[in-house]
Amino acid sequence: MTNLDQLQPIHLRGFELRVIGLPLVRPFRTSFGTQNDRRILLVRAIADEGDGWGECVSGDDPLYSSEYVEISHHVMIHHLIPRLLTADGAPLHATDVARLLEPVKEHRMAKGALEAAVLDAQLRANGVPLTTALGSVVDRVPSGVSVGIHDDIDSLVRTIGGYLDEGYVRIKLKIEPGSDIEPVRVIRQTFGDAVPLQVDANTAYTRDDGAHLARLDRFGLLLIEQPLPEDDVTGHAIIARQVVTPICLDESIVSARAAVDAIERGACSIVNIKAGRVGGYLEAVEVHDVCRERGIPVWCGGMLETGIGRAMNLALAALPNFTLTGDVSASERFWARDIVRDPIVLEHGHVVLRTGPGTGVELDHDFIASVTLSSETVLRR
């Protein structure tokens, strides 16, 4: 990572918090529920030197984690933004944000979104791309797709066939008890053993399910993601001893410290990194680094982001220890129309990094205005 402290700081005036609503191109079902559309909290950092944008990955409901849009909005307004808009108006570095927000417990998605907006503003003001700041080493990354739970296997096969035709190089299938072994068996039977395939349970199993999950071993999956609840690290270590397929953690890994803990306890041999889940892109780089030092490969998760978060995820996914294909799909996987002017597209199974200053994306402000549900601006008093 570039020494961000050597960049010129910015003089922060305030933030705009804007909630937009976007319909999904098709429903997305996970073990915790079905999503038809998505509210997304966008954050604009307003500085003397110019603006920056970030995106909060909180969901509509507290189902993936305890955070959701209204809560993230509330904690930003009442607890986080006041800590960044200090009375003296001292110059701010993006690297200061996590430390200033540290006294507030949890709310990592909210913290991460504020840091992302400040980071974008500071990088744009300095003319530095996020890719340079994070330490990206490639200009494009292979693209995987996350496939929801389907009611019938024929439609699942059609959906996956469509994604493979589009060029996605890895399929991740959402599973839950009652929809796991059989869909995986049919996918393998239909598309063969060569298709890179993995499954994600989003915490739907228990410590007693080790023998059941071991029935997935014969299908040669890349990994099983987060079979047990997020606080059951020891449970994952128990499961990991019963299955041959590597266990990967998502929800459990809320910081670099949590990653070290899970690795040292034998709970996972692969880590999914999502910046929002760990409190921001700078902590995400720390997670990457501690995994790399311990020989644990990582991959970049997805949270149904717009073009802002997607561009940032791409910069992260280009770091050297991201050796497994991530969930950074083309924008059209989720959205009929993105809020950026140059949405991420799939090119021969890859997605290409944005290289302009900051996130490098240009927002479609007219479209954003048309999908805005609420907006609020908080300025230094």
Catalytic residues: 174, 274
Q: What residues numbered 139-158 form the site for ligand NPQ, per CB under 6 A?
A: 146
**One-letter amino acid identity for 184?**
V
> What does 35 bind: ligand NPQ, Mg ion, none (CB cut-off 5 to 8 Å by kind)?
ligand NPQ
Q: What residues numbered 104-143 form the site for ligand NPQ, per CB under 6 A?
A: none
Decide: is 72 part of the binding site for ligand NPQ (CB under 6 A). no
Residue 199 Cβ vs Mg ion, minimum distance, rounded to whole Å: 10
Closest-CA residue to 120 (of 317, 360, 377)? 360
**Comparison of 115 and 327: residue with beta carbon closer to ligand NPQ:** 327
Q: What residues numbered 323-362 form the site for Mg ion, per CB under 5 A?
A: none
> What does 143 bind: ligand NPQ, Mg ion, none (CB cut-off 5 to 8 Å by kind)?
none
Structure tokens given for 16 = 């705009």
Decide: is 288 part of the binding site for ligand NPQ (CB under 6 A). no
Contacting residue, 9, 52, 54, 59, with ligand NPQ by CB under 6 A: 59
CA end-to-end distance (rounded Å), the chain:
34
> What does 306 bind: ligand NPQ, Mg ion, none (CB cut-off 5 to 8 Å by kind)?
none
**Comparison of 73 and 236: residue with beta carbon closer to Mg ion:** 236
Dist. CA 172–CA 301, nearest whole Å: 11
Q: What residues numbered 312-331 form the site for ligand NPQ, per CB under 6 A?
A: 327
**What are the contacts of 225-231 at 24+ separation with CB within 8 A?**
225/172, 225/198, 225/199, 225/200, 225/201, 225/249, 225/250, 225/272, 226/200, 226/201, 226/202, 226/250, 226/251, 226/252, 226/272, 227/201, 227/203, 228/203, 229/203, 230/65, 230/203, 230/254
CA dihedral 164, 170, 174, 180 (to 10 degrees): 90
Decide: is 200 part of the binding site for Mg ion (CB under 5 A). yes
Contacting residue, 75, 114, 197, 304, with ligand NPQ by CB under 6 A: 304
- 3 state SS of 254: coil
Q: Which stretch binds ligand NPQ (CB under 6 A): 88-96, 98-106, 238-246, 298-306?
A: 298-306
**Taking a C-beta distance cutoff of 8 angstroms, is the pair 239, 227 a contact?**
yes
Dist. CA 19–CA 196, nearest whole Å: 36
Q: Which stretch binds Mg ion (CB under 5 A): 36-44, 192-200, 211-219, 330-338?
A: 192-200
Dist. CA 310–CA 141, nearest whole Å: 12
Dist. CA 271–CA 282, nearest whole Å: 16
Dist. CA 281–CA 274, nearest whole Å: 8
Contacting residue, 18, 38, 44, 124, with ligand NPQ by CB under 6 A: 38
Residue 7 Cβ vs ligand NPQ, minimum distance, rounded to whole Å: 31
**Comparison of 51 and 200: residue with beta carbon closer to Mg ion:** 200
Residue 35 Cβ vs ligand NPQ, minimum distance, rounded to whole Å: 4
CA distances from 77 to 16, 105, 194, 350 (A): 10, 15, 49, 38
Contacting residue, 55, 180, 232, 250, with Mg ion by CB under 5 A: 250
- Measured from each CB, the residue nearest to Mg ion is 250
**H helices, E strands: number in the chain:** 14, 13
Binding site for Mg ion (CB under 5 A): 200, 225, 250
Binding site for ligand NPQ (CB under 6 A): 28, 30, 35, 38, 59, 64, 146, 200, 202, 250, 301-304, 327
